[in-house]
Structure 1
Amino acid sequence: MVEEKSIQEFKSGDEIQGFFIIKKIEMKLSTNNKNFLDLTVSDKTGEINGKVWGCQEGQDKDFPTGSLIKVRGNITEWKGKLQLKINLMRLVNEDDGKNIEDYIQGAPIKPEEMFDEIYEYVQKIKNKDIKNIVEKIILESKEKLMYYPAAKSLHHAIRSGLMYHILRMLRTGEKLSEVYANVNKDLLFAGILLHDIEKLEELNSDELGIAEYSKEGQLLGHISMGMNKISQVGQELGANEEIIMILKHMVLSHHYEPEFGSPKKPMIPEGELLHYIDMIDARMYDMEDHLKNIEPGEFTAPIWSLENRRLYKTSF
């Protein structure tokens, strides 16, 4: 009997069967000119790269992104990472009695609860112009925020991941503003709430939180799109021009380096804090995500987003 396991439980050498969601699927050509399918599949506990060797041309069209599939295969290791060699694969049917909702990776807090807490932070902003700009953008974004990921892959690439990222940053920012009392909390909260808001347009996501880049996202990126959004809303509301400019600067500079999309580094303390809070949350999420899949005393596979570091899970 082949064992049914979740992705979190996979170990090299396992023969497994299970149900997974297709996050990405692509037909490729091997070095010996044979077709194979390259997939990313996920369940509630994580995701893994999979391969189907010796495929027929067009077979990828039979398995759309977002489909729930039943798989039988073997867990192998390639360049230090686990990989799923798929031997059999089919779409689920009614007889399987499976609900795709049970296999979706999502934020650990309910979207409605996260939005309510985020909106409480909007209400903490005292400056009228800043609050009006932020409130209008957040309320207009509510529907998408409920399910959008923060990225196509890497940190917070889960359903409701963008809101989870924003919420954890707000909590961190509030604590740090107690230490650095000179920081303008209105600006800091506004920067956190708006810094990634145009990922809602940079990405096209389904309600499972599976996303691809939009045309505008590829050509413009969420930073420039975010600046345009702040300008548009600020002018509609008749906000102070300097406030509009400073909010745009925070969004513009939050990636810090030109090679990551920021032509200017932060020139105000709130912008500096915004960048590092963003980095803290992204890196801590990636660490949490990889460490959850290993036993105490073990090392993770190299993690690309963390300069290919291998993390160690302590046993105490």
Structure 2
Amino acid sequence: MPGKTRFISELTPGLGDMEDIFLLVRATQGKARNGPFWTLTLQDSSGQVDAKLWSPLSQSFSSFTPGQVVLVRGRTGAYQDRLQITIDGLRILNTESPGPNDPRVDMDQLTMTSEVPPENLLAKLKTLLREGLVYPPWRKLAESALNDPVISEAMLSAPGGKAIHHAYRGGLLEHTLSVCQMSRHVCEHYPQLDSQILLVAGAFHDLGKAFELVSEPAPDYTDQGRLLGHIPLGLEVLQPYLEECGADPELILHFKHILLSHHGEYEYGSPKRPKTAEAMILHYLDNMDAKLNQIASIFEDAGDSDEPLWSPYQTTLQRFLYKPKPTPDGNGKATTAKKKDNGQCSLPLKA
């Protein structure tokens, strides 16, 4: 039986009957007048889509497990201006021991990965650090940690989050590189900042995410992630390299403070609040990069259209979002730049 035939990015409301293979990312059970139903989030390499499994078919499934591969038969429609699949049939596939009539499953077609290959992102990060770090201990820290195969392999595969943003392989590196690049620009504008400590802290502020989350088969937390969280995990992983790099103890203390405080506020999961200019800058860069990536993802379905558009209500941001009509340039073309995938650590944004 043939494998995947159409990707989520190719689906539009009103396509009629469809049948294809997806990765199950999330499953939530609800209750309606005619019985229980399931809200599923399905994924392939091109994106994610919500799907509804209504009663009585829903009663055939007592539970779902994220990471299961499913064969879905249904119809495409729209709910609150977003694509949605109404499921008429669903079969959980055994990818380890497929039956003779099971479709061929290629996990690469179901796994979301950064647009730029993670290996290229890591190489760009190393180059940026090599060019920007002139203090030998900081350079030694960056080189020794990023050349550790355990750390590098974890960073290559890590997502930037579980669901809201960058929830795919390479997402962590995408965000890390973006924050480091922005830190260079900020330091050019504010030359009084310690550009080197901001750069090396930007490179490792979310290192713990590489051990807090796994990206395959679907983004989820590890036991370490649930019990400790990415901030203490990152410092724990870096501690041997900090001890060996030879940096001044006062600089190491500042470096640790920047990492510990990058979530900004206690209510956002930050062990400490930023108490230096560099710590404050990293917090804002981290949060800004996350929010802009999240907003870009929300309006991704609109493509390159310049038409104004409202989003559905965003629970994590506690608001609707608006995509305004862009200002034209002298030739009558929109002046907005093409979307660039960045983002991480999505902190609550105050209204």
- Structure 2 vs 1, CA of residues 58 and 250 (structure 1 numbering), >3 Å: closer, same or farther? same
TM-score between both structures, scaled by the size of structure 2: 0.77
Tell me, yes or no, if the aligned pair for 1:44 and 1:104 is still in contact at 8 Å: yes
Equivalenced residue count is 308
Provide closer, same or farther for how the CA distance between residues 81 and 304 of structure 1 changes in structure 2, counting only shifts above 3 A: farther
1:155 corresponds to which of 144, 159, 165: 165
Asked whether the 8 Å contact 2:25–2:43 carries over to 1, the reply is no
Distance 1:99 1:214, change over 3 A: closer
Structure 1 window deviating more from structure 2 (125-134 vs 76-85): it is 76-85
TM-score by length of 1: 0.84
Query: Which residue of structure 2 lines up, in the alignment, with residue 256 of structure 1?
Result: 264
**Structure 1: gaps (5+ residues):** none
Measured after TM superposition, the shift of residue 281 of structure 1 is 1.3
1:143 equivalent to 2:145? Answer: no
Corresponding position of 1:56: 60
**Aligned with 1:221 (options 223, 229, 232):** 229
SS, match of residue 322 in structure 2: coil
Which digits, 9 at most, give the CA deviation of each residue in 1:206-248, with x for residues without a partner?
2x5x321122211211112223333343124454322221111
User: For the residues of structure 2 that align with 1:292 and 1:233, how far apart are their CA atoms?
Assistant: 40
Do the aligned partners of 2:168 and 2:215 also contact (CA within 8 Å) in 1? no
Q: What does 1:230-249 correspond to in 2, within 5 Å? A: 230-249=238-257
Q: Is the 8 A contact 1:290 1:300 kept in 2?
A: yes
1:292 aligns with 2:294: no
Q: Which amino acid aligns with 1:229?
A: V
Which shifted more, 154-163 or 11-20? 11-20
Q: Specify the SS of the correspondent of 1:173.
A: helix
Q: 1:22 to 1:267 in 2, by over 3 A?
A: same
Q: Distance in 2 between matches of 1:60 and 1:235?
A: 45
Q: Distance in 2 between matches of 1:256 and 1:9?
A: 40
Q: 1:277 aligns with which of 281, 285, 293?
A: 285
Paired residue secondary structure (2:273): coil
Q: Which residue of 2 aligns with 1:302?
A: 313
1:106 aligns with 2:129: no
The verdict on how the C-alpha distance between 1:95 and 1:22 changes in structure 2, with shifts beyond 3 A counting, is closer
How far residue 153 of structure 1 moved from its aligned partner, in angstroms, is 0.9
Indicate how the Cα distance of structure 1 residues 20 and 273 shifts in structure 2: closer, same or farther if over 3 A, else same.
farther
The 1:253–1:55 alpha-carbon spacing in structure 2 relative to 1, beyond 3 Å, is same
Structure that is richer in helix per residue: 1
Counterpart for residue 130 of structure 1: 138
**Distance 1:175-1:20 versus aligned 2 partners, 3 A rule:** farther
Deviates more, 1:40-49 or 1:30-39: 30-39
> Please, which runs of 5 or more residues in structure 2 have no aligned partner?
327-333, 335-351
